Amino acid sequence: MLPQPEIPFLSALPTCTTSLADHDAVVLENRCVGSNFYVMQLATPNTLAFVPGQFVMIDLPQSGFFLRRPMSIMQVIDAPEPYRQAFSIFYKVHGKGTQAMSTWPIGQATRVLGPLGKGFPLPVSGQSQLMVGGGIGVAPFVAVQAHARAQGIPLGQNRLVYGVRSSQDIGILPELEALFGSENLLVCTQDGSQGIAGTVIDALTQRSEWLADAHAVLTCGPTPMMRALAGFLDKQAPALPLWVSLEERMPCGTGACTGCVITLNTSPLPVKTCIEGPVFLANTIDWEASAPKTLAVGGGCK
Amino acid sequence: MSTVTTTPTPVPLALATTVGKTPLRSLIMNASGCFNPSLFHQLAPLPQCLGAIVTKTVTPQPRGGNPQYRTVELAGVGMLNSIGLQNPGLDYALATDVPVSAALGCPVVLSVSAETPEAFGDLAHRIVQSAPAQAGQVIALELNLSCPNVAKGGVDFGSNPQTIALAITAARQGLGEGSSIALWAKLTPNVASMLPMAESASSAGVDAVTIMNTLLGTAIDVKARRFILPRISGGYSGPGVFPVALHHVQNVHRHFPQLPIIGVGGIETVENVLAMVMAGASAVQVGTACFRSPLVFAQLVDGLASWCGVEGVGVLSELCGVAVYTS
């Protein structure tokens, strides 16, 4: 008998499946908020209860695509009649699928399967969460902080470091400032065009008291950023738990295809990101084994 | 809301079928490795859709599978996968996956693979002796023959009639005489002709053949000038392969009309299922379409039942092979 994976932290993460369904959905808004970044609002005729960090699989109804696209749920918004639920997602045009999504007009019909996966540890009063978002990876932290505010957790307990390439990429800054309070929000740009010049790690180095205050760090964004953050915290604050939400290629999102696996050092077999995660404790991840392997074949005359 | 109503209705009688010696309440099954029973059951009650649940392929020992990337989307036509048969091993599957599926109210088909004929025999023997099999939860073994035969230099079992026969014979011996568990062989299309493979499987005593496994395919990231999949090629599945699967089903059925066939490959619509049946399939499996819509089974059952009603067809499986034999 195979030893069962010892992943106790996973069972402790919140999940919500009460409204799991393949929901009809319609686009309420599809707004460009910076170079290639978009906020899309979707409405469903039924309730879609979720915990922050969960995601939906969005169908691309146009021809030319086959698989759905995983999107983190960013924020619940008021649903206009006759809908019962509306929520937003935050996406970047990265390939043909997101390119197609960026052209969807108001009223575009689609389907959203969800909510799926496990969320971030829920905010607790008196336990400061330091969130580190890169690019569209900031989306779940809007949900986390909205949840915290709804629970009566005061402004200032939680903080956000938001890393982007340039000032053109931070079109949702007003929303973030409203949620977190501008003094609890640190923007950093790789090109130095706004906020701290450099990476999220440069920002954390400059604001080391934020690390000292934190009870947990939550991160979502490009894998190299999260991996670097894990390495940084290993040295700077090894006792501080780091929760990461992984962005893997997810063909199904339902634990069916085994396509989105990562390697944990607590599990004998690779683990499905979509149903066991996407949130994991960073010190359980074998980053090297989880990284995509490409073949150095060909080469040609480049 | 698109989820199926919570007041259960049984599978329409028109969709019942028999594959060889095995009766199924519905001619629709999932294809191996494309399906999470527990989660799908939350979306639509499986016993009202499926004749059986086919497990992900299990091997004698756990396998970790291939590194990332494991999948590539192919615009409009499907996808490539290179999972590498990741699975927790037979013991784990017998202790968890099979009982979980059975508890959902579905009979279980165990998809199995091994690296030697002896290992196929040992797998079958262990399964027969297992508690789920003794409890009648396992109705068939589906031999996934797209696994390298280590004893023969790593060539896939399924690409050679002799090795197909070796694997089937060993599995048959492992099951023992008189076992009620059926033996199905899943054939690969990555051969010059599937006919010698089907003939060999039939002679070796399978109860049915599953046609077909994925087609070999690859994809290149032209920007990076690299193959996307770390093992270069993977299995091509999805709606784009449907005509190929349909061809192989009709061809094998025409040559071996007594050999029961389970048709699989790119099935997504009611028309696809009907065509597979008319080409000679006694049952079908739906795989990659599950990734796009977990409600595909419920939609197919509803659509097929409606079609039978409109067309005055009492039992759909009676149309098996009509396209082959009706001029």
Distance from CA of A271 to the nearest CA of B (A): 10
Could you read off the pLDDT of A143-182 as tens digits, one per residue? 999 999 999 999 999 999 999 999 999 989 999 999 999 9
**A60 and A158 inside one domain:** no
Check CB contact of A299 with chain B, cutoff 8 Å.
yes
**A133 and A240 inside one domain:** yes
* Residue among A64, A295, A299 minimizing CB distance to B232: A295
- Tell me the C-alpha distance between A244 and A255, whole Å: 19
Out of A54, A82, A116, a domain closes at A116
Residue range of the domain that includes A98: 12-116
Q: What's the number of domains chain A is made of?
A: 2
Could you read off the pLDDT of B258-267 as tens digits, one per residue? 999 999 999 9
Could you read off the pLDDT of B62-117 as tens digits, one per residue? 999 999 999 999 988 999 999 999 999 999 999 999 999 999 999 999 999 999 99
Residues of B in contact with A45 (CB under 8 A): 1
Q: Do B81 and A261 touch (CB under 8 A)?
A: no
The full set of domains in chain B, from first to last, is 13-65+83-215+237-325 (3.20.20.70)
Instruction: Please check whether residue B200 is in contact with residue B161, taking contact to mean a CB–CB distance below 8 angstroms.
Output: yes
**A95 and A189 inside one domain:** no
Out of A88, A116, A144, a domain closes at A116
Q: Which structure tokens are listed for B26?
A: 């519905």
What is the model's pLDDT at position A6?
Answer: 52
Q: Does pLDDT of B7 surpass 70?
A: no
Residue type for B27, please? Answer: L
Out of A116, A143, A162, a domain closes at A116
Note whether residue A274 is domain-resident. Answer: no
Residue A88, domain CATH: 2.40.30.10
What is the model's pLDDT at position A247?
Answer: 82
Instruction: Please check whether residue B29 is in contact with residue B50, taking contact to mean a CB–CB distance below 8 angstroms.
Output: yes
Alpha-helix residue ranges (DSSP H) falling in chain B: 37-43, 90-92, 98-103, 117-129, 131-134, 161-175, 195-203, 242-255, 270-279, 289-292, 296-311, 322-325
Residue A134, domain CATH: 3.40.50.80
Note whether residue A29 is domain-resident. Answer: yes
Note whether residue A270 is domain-resident. Answer: no
**A56 and A137 inside one domain:** no
What is the model's pLDDT at position A100?
Answer: 95
Check CB contact of A5 with chain B, cutoff 8 Å.
no
Note whether residue A146 is domain-resident. Answer: yes
Check CB contact of A286 with chain B, cutoff 8 Å.
no
Q: Has B308 been annotated as catalytic?
A: no
- Tell me the C-alpha distance between B268 and B292, whole Å: 10
Q: Does pLDDT of A299 surpass 50?
A: no
Lowest mean pLDDT, pick from B7-11, B147-151, B197-201: B7-11
List beta partners, residue B73. B79
Note whether residue A234 is domain-resident. Answer: yes
**A26 and A76 inside one domain:** yes
Residues of B in contact with A287 (CB under 8 A): none
